[in-house]
Chain A
Amino acid sequence: MGDYTTQELLSIFAMQGFAGFSLFSVLLLMALGLAIIFGQMGVINMAHGEFMAVGAYTTYLMSAVSEKYFPGFIQYYFVFAIVFSFLIAGLLGYLAEFALIRHLYKRPLDTLLATWGLSLIMQQTFRSVFGAREVSPTLPDWLLGSYQPTDTIDIPLNGLFVLALTAIVTLGVFILMYRSSWGLRVRATTQNRVMSGAVGINTKKIDRLTFALGCGIAGIAGAAFTTIASTGPTTGSLYIVDTFMVVVFGGAGSLFGTIASAFSIAQAQSILEFFISGSMAKVMTLLTIVIFLMMRPEGLFSIKVRK
């Protein structure tokens, strides 16, 4: 290490720390929506990645529209794109629950097949509408480049943005689930569906809104990820494995579990990647998770649910 100054090494250490945090925020944002759907409702939503793609394509469309008709708007559209992504993905989720999922609550394994089918349908729809090629929205200038606190440190702005967005969304979900009366009803339904129904909670409505909320958050994640990668018809399937990994490792039904799980997976992955090759790092991370889940099948944190 003779060729490096202390400052350079410290800089790389700092940037490496940020890389870990950046991956953490990406994993958490991906997993939040699924944690709500899988954790609270027990629905294995294989189309989660496609709802993310809905958000990404919404962002792309808004970028294309503002570029063409409102060039002055290009610096600001992204904020609106996130809101729209949430609304559109949420609305689609609401419809999917109404048309498909609600008929299958008593057959949890069939939801897996049905949502997988839904994901294929959505992929082919993206392909027919937007074409097979990958697309990227035009990003506003404030999302490009890097922040340089010193000469040798570059912190990617898009990473900072995703980090901030994840913090906001997580806080929002926390308040909604643990500090609102609607959240109370959702948790009550999760813990004891029959009893909740008996005390007058409309569990069907709760289910539908929970599913829509989860899909809407997936839409936000999709919009945010356009700053990191491009969007194609099969983009969603890239994320689905990581997403399930985070939720299962964290323990279904626990928001804190999801956060802790995303944090530990991200740090393990990013530190390992620094010392060994990317593929090996992934193998090591997965192996650790498998061994952990063999010893503790319920994941990091779990809540008691009356079956």
Chain B
Amino acid sequence: MKSRFTLSKLGNVVGLALGLTMAVNMNVSAASVNTTGLAVTDKVVKVGILHSLTGTMAISETGAQEAEKLAIKQINDMGGILGRQIEVIQEDGASDWPTFAEKSRKLLVKDKVAAVFGCWTSASRKAALPVFEKENGLLYYPTFYEGLEQSHNVIYTGQEATQQILAGLDWVAKEKKAKTFYLIGSDYIWPRTTMKIARKHIENVLGGKVVGEDYKPLGNTQFGSTINKIRLKKPDVIYAAVVGGSNVAWFKQLKAAGITSKKQTLLTLSVTEDEVLGIGGENLEGFYSVMKYFQSQDNENNKAFVKAFKEMWGDDSVMGDVTQAAYLGPWLWKAAVEKAGSFDVDKVVKVSETAGIELKQAPEGYVKLHPNHHLWSKTRVAKWNKDGQATVVFESDLIEPNPFPKGYQ
């Protein structure tokens, strides 16, 4: 099948438009756009959403699945994909990693979905990965993560570790003349890998010194001793990747111990607008987060995204980095499917790797797919305000994704 393409900027259908390369062949039959038995009819294409709606991860994953549904609704409102409306089959991963694998199998084998948007933790992705590879499914994964992975069957819409880490460290070394760093994280794969990369960069590239490295069990709420250790070491920068409920205790106790942004520079990799709801803006005021997206970003597309999100999910909603990355998933899939003129996973992946799929008007700004399945994206450093929003103080150039960084292993 040969497709014709025109470059057309989409109209402002739902108060928001992502400029995409769009195919105009709307009248192709299901058989020709789907040769592998996916759940595609002449009118409808089925996709899966797989996040934790229950259990401990529900806190984080709620925003991601809301963003995916928003994107899908907007795509449907503007006519769907290849003339087909997207129908969502939602499954609950229940914060339990084997459940993610089991539900993935159900979505791919029983429902025959054309794509799945889902997973949040690395553990859930690692559990689902063998299923996606065996059944040749397609997963759009939204979270910033530790890297060291590149699967034929996964598109990573969040940042891999080096994208997030290096730009932030460079910034703090230059702007704050930082020489000494204290690294602290929760004790699991993401913070450990992250800190390994950070330490190499601090010692080998920036010529700085790591004066302490500490890991706390997940869920730990006591930071008294760690805070005293930090006082003793007097680092220029505290570099933190503490997650979940621990995060809240960590910042509350820092504040209670009198360590505020007036005396101490702190950079965190694990605080988005979602976390601030629990931590409280007053406990974070003046500290910095390093992410690719902040809700306060001042551009038309982001304003439209924030508005549409609040209309759909309520005025109290906040949008964090992962929420925005999850929102990109359906749009990237749409762009690839239309360019391939097919829902077949192999064709969509091939186009994603080779055709330079790009979103010109993503809320975070321009992004482009790299052949290694990750996104070219900018990294931003933002300073937290009392009201729970952050002001971007630094924006990098577009950074090439490098999931297997040499010299950082």
Contact = CB atoms under 8 A, between A and B. Distances in A.
B213 A277 contact: yes
Contacts of B217: 278-279, 282
Contact of A12 (B56, B232, B256): B232
B277 A134 contact: yes
A132 B213 CA distance: 31
B258 A146 contact: yes
A127 B253 CA distance: 26
Given A228-B252, A230-B245, A278 B216 contact: yes
A145 interface: yes
Contacts of A278: 187, 214-217, 220, 225-226
Given A144-B255, A278-B217, A26 B222 contact: yes
A129 interface: no
Interface in A197-240: 225, 227-230, 232-235, 237-238
Contacts of B54: 124, 127
A156 B228 contact: no
Given A144-B256, A158-B256, A15 B214 contact: no
A121 to B, nearest CB: 12
A273 interface: yes
B258 A136 contact: no
Contact of B214 (A18, A237, A277): A277
Given A15-B231, A234-B55, A273 B226 contact: yes
A284 to B, nearest CB: 12
Given A229-B221, A270-B225, A274-B225, A136 B248 contact: yes
B278 A228 contact: no
B59 interface: yes
Given A133-B278, A230-B279, A145 B255 contact: yes
B249 interface: yes
A200 B245 CA distance: 48
Contact of A234 (B56, B228, B255): B56
A159 interface: yes
A229 B224 contact: no
B285 to A, nearest CB: 12
A228 B257 CA distance: 12
Interface string B342-374: 000000000000000000000000000000000
Nearest to B221: A229
A124 B278 CA distance: 19
A180 interface: no
Q: How large is the interface on A (under 10, 10 to 19, 20 to 34, 35 or more residues)?
A: 35 or more
Nearest to A153: B258
Interface in A145-164: 145-146, 148, 154, 156-159
Given A234-B56, A277-B215, A18 B224 contact: yes
B275 to A, nearest CB: 8
A134 B59 contact: yes
B186 to A, nearest CB: 9
A144 B253 CA distance: 10
B258 A154 contact: yes
Interface string A14-45: 01101110110010000000000000000000
A98 to B, nearest CB: 28
Contacts of A19: 222, 224-225, 227-228
Given A278-B215, A278-B216, A278-B217, A23 B278 contact: no
A245 interface: no
Given A15-B231, A277-B213, A279-B215, A23 B62 contact: no
B68 interface: no
B242 to A, nearest CB: 10
B325 to A, nearest CB: 19
Contacts of A157: 256
Contacts of A274: 225, 228-229
B280 interface: yes
A229 B245 contact: yes
A146 B256 contact: yes
A136 B278 contact: yes
A114 interface: no
B258 A134 contact: no
A135 interface: yes
A230 B226 contact: no
Contacts of A282: 217, 220
Nearest to A145: B256
B160 interface: no
B224 A22 contact: yes
A49 to B, nearest CB: 11
B224 A134 contact: no
B219 interface: yes
Contact of A159 (B226, B234, B256): B256
Interface in B314-344: none
B58 interface: yes
Given A136-B280, A145-B255, A159-B224, 5 more contacts: A133-B274, A144-B255, A148-B258, A278-B214, A282-B217
State the 9 A-B residue pairs at the shortest beta-carbon distance, nearest first.
A19-B224, A156-B256, A134-B278, A154-B258, A273-B225, A132-B58, A230-B248, A278-B216, A229-B249
6 contacts: A19-B227, A132-B53, A230-B245, A232-B59, A279-B216, A279-B217
Interface of B: 53-56, 58-59, 62, 187, 213-217, 219-222, 224-229, 231-232, 234, 245-246, 248-249, 252-253, 255-259, 274, 277-280
